[in-house]
Amino acid sequence: MLNSIYYGGKSQSSPLIVLHGLFGSANNWNSFARTMSNQRPVICVDLRNHGNSPWHSTHSYDDLATDVAMMLDQPADIIGHSMGGKAAMVLALRYPNLVNKLIVADISPIRYNYSQISIINTLLAIDLNKTESRAQVILQMDAIEPDLRAFLAHSINIREKVWRINLKTLKKDMRKIIGFPKFNTNFLGKTLFISGEKSDYTHESHKPKIRRLFPNSSFIGIQNAGHWLHVEKPLEFKDITNKFLNEK
């Protein structure tokens, strides 16, 4: 069973399930979940091979979607960022009866040309047994973009000297992670694609495929935001999310 963090009490509103991105965890969404939980229950999920959820030998989007489907006992609103956005889309396409509204943050249902293998190799080369703090680990991340180093270091259990992300499985299945499954079906529920206008993860050319898979979709961009739009522009991101979820 996936590890989850629950915010808010019982409500007549549908719960909001939050799915994080690659190398992340449920904890990345604490601030967003707290502010959203005054209107509806919010559940932040550690996806497989991340955080405190179980590790597995595979990491496909069908795996991730099925894991989330198994934890749901009622239909829910779903929001996913990056890898979590792809998992959310597959969940809606595979299990449409479990998804009310869908929000996809800065990702498209396409195969990307980049890989995160170089990051994984850098992390695998770090000997955690010779470190006493996250700061010492960050000093060994010279090959990784500075903006990512602190984020990645949050996935270290310093006391036990282990990563909270299953780097070996993620490396093995990177082609699946940068890809997207083929579908002949679509999801007819209301769907919102939020993009960071400075991000290169989304593009106008992606919209025909998005509209085929999600015909009831709309699009909105957040100015001066990149891929981490929910961190860079938290108030704008929250307001857009609330408006969409509250629409009839």
- Look up 82 and say whether it is catalytic: yes
Collapsing DSSP to helix, strand or coil, 233 comes out as coil
Collapsing DSSP to helix, strand or coil, 45 comes out as strand
Does pLDDT of 12 surpass 80?
no
Q: With contact defined as beta carbons under 8 Å apart, do 22 and 48 qualify?
A: no
Mean pLDDT of 1-17: 89
Does pLDDT of 10 surpass 90?
no
| Secondary structure E strands in the chain | 4-7, 16-19, 42-45, 76-81, 99-105, 156-157, 162-163, 191-196, 217-222
**Tokens matching residue 180:** 């997207």
How far apart (Å, rounded) are the C-alpha atoms in residues 26 and 4? 7
pLDDT confidence band for 11 (50 / 70 / 90): confident
Q: Which of 60, 82, 108, 195 is catalytic?
A: 82
- CA nearest 230: which of 39, 5, 30? 30
pTM of the entire structure? 0.96
Does pLDDT of 179 surpass 90?
yes
| Span 14-68, pLDDT tens digits | 899 999 999 999 999 999 999 999 989 999 999 999 999 999 999 999 999 999 9
pLDDT confidence band for 121 (50 / 70 / 90): very high
Q: Residue type at 167? A: L
- CA nearest 190: which of 216, 221, 219, 220? 216
pLDDT confidence band for 72 (50 / 70 / 90): very high
- What are the b/e assignments for 18-54, b being 16+ CB within 10 Å? bbbbbbbbbbbbeebbebbbeebbbbbbbbbbbbebe
How far apart (Å, rounded) are the C-alpha atoms in residues 172 and 144? 20
Domain at 4-112+179-246: CATH code = 3.40.50.1820
- Look up 57 and say whether it is catalytic: no
Report domain extents, the chain. 4-112+179-246, 117-170
The CA distances from residue 123 to 45, 60, 145, 173, 244, in Å, are 23, 21, 13, 16, 38
The CA distances from residue 238 to 52, 206, 235, 242, in Å, are 26, 24, 5, 6
Q: What is the pLDDT of residue 17?
A: 98
Q: Which of 20, 81, 227, 230 is catalytic?
A: 227
